[in-house]
Amino acid sequence: MNDGFTPVPRCWICDGERLTPIHIARFDLHEYVQQDPPLAAYTGAAVPLLRCDRCGFGQPAALPSLPNYFDRMYDQRWSDEWVRAEHDATYKDAVFADVLSGLTARLPPSRRRLLDVGAHTGRFIATARRAGWNAEGLELNPKTGAFAAAATGAPVHQGNVHTFDADAAYDAVTLTDVLEHIPDPRMVLRRVHRFLAPGGYLAVKVPHGPAQRVKERARARIHRGYRPSLADNLVHVNHFTPDSLSRALEREGFREVTVNPGAPELPPGGRAARFIRRLVFLSARVAPGGVHTPLALNLQAYARRD
């Protein structure tokens, strides 16, 4: 038996109460059976994913009641080789370059203090420092965080946005592939807002919820036996649309909010596959309203602290 679930009655973004089921998230945590039996006990459970009628945001109908469920799921004991390979991997470089160019265009050269929230193995910090940014990181996982600090020479603080505090210390804060993983995302935005100095910018990259579902359903039609799995184990707990992402930022006091199609990850191998991903991204970016279409598989937002 698992610890059960705690209902989430209202939309985390707009407080709307009319929520429509769109998907079922299933749990398979059997690989934790030795490391964390109470976590593994959720294997076989399922919870509906709901879409808010008012703002389009997607979130689970309930969260696991097991204390620190998410921290326990992300407590992965990675090997040294895997950590190094992640730091050396190039698949996110197009995303990182896009984030830096958006921030560079918005901030004068004198403002280059940056905090990367969810710094992982530090590849983005290294990229930012080479481009002249005074970049630091915040990372929950002690192993990847220590690697990131050693590999970049940058301060990498251990913790999350709730344990860390930095009052108006940064000109830029980045949340790249982080916000989709943390329940109650407005609380995260509230915290990072105070890390920014006045006039500083937040850059947020998340998957585009509805577009990812279209892609997963298409994949399921092509490959028999493939099951759309983006929400499984609640790895993706938040499913943003452009409107719900800008609404979340504005409600937490950010101004000059823009949301555009985000750059794609480009996995190694398969030049044709990489070409198609770039083409889909560029099509979404040049098409009027492209950010609202399934071509925009990712969303890249910028928002200013007054």
Q: Kindly tell me which residue out of 5, 10, 16, 26 binds Zn ion, with binding defined by CB under 5 A.
A: 16
13 binding Zn ion? (CB under 5 A): yes
Name residues contacting Zn ion, limited to 35-54 (CB under 5 A): 52, 54
- Which residue, 11 or 135, is less far from Zn ion as judged by CB? 11
Q: Nearest-5° angle of CA 118, CA 12, CA 51? A: 105
Least gap, CB of 252 to Zn ion (angstroms)? 14
Name residues contacting Zn ion, limited to 57-86 (CB under 5 A): 57
- Which residue, 17 or 28, is less far from Zn ion as judged by CB? 17
19 binding Zn ion? (CB under 5 A): no
245 binding Zn ion? (CB under 5 A): no
Q: Kindly tell me which residue out of 49, 55, 107, 299 binds Zn ion, with binding defined by CB under 5 A.
A: 55
Q: How far apart are the first and last CA of the chain?
A: 49
CA atoms within 13 A of residue 85's CA, in its CB half-sphere:
6
Least gap, CB of 246 to Zn ion (angstroms)? 12
Least gap, CB of 58 to Zn ion (angstroms)? 9
**Do residues 142 and 119 make contact, with C-beta atoms less than 8 angstroms apart?**
no
Distances (CA, A) of 224 to 71, 214, 221, 227, 254: 33, 16, 6, 8, 44
- Which residue, 17 or 88, is less far from Zn ion as judged by CB? 17
- Which residue, 13 or 204, is less far from Zn ion as judged by CB? 13
State the burial class of residue 255 (Cβ atoms within 10 Å of its Cβ: 0-12, 13-18, 19+).
exposed
- Which residue, 52 or 230, is less far from Zn ion as judged by CB? 52
- Which residue, 54 or 72, is less far from Zn ion as judged by CB? 54
Least gap, CB of 11 to Zn ion (angstroms)? 3
Phi, psi dihedral angles at 242 (to 5 degrees) = -55, -40
The stretch near Zn ion (CB under 5 A) out of 6-14, 38-46, 148-156, 167-175 is 6-14
- Which residue, 16 or 38, is less far from Zn ion as judged by CB? 16
Chain contacts with Zn ion (rule: CB under 5 A): 11, 13-14, 16, 52, 54-55, 57
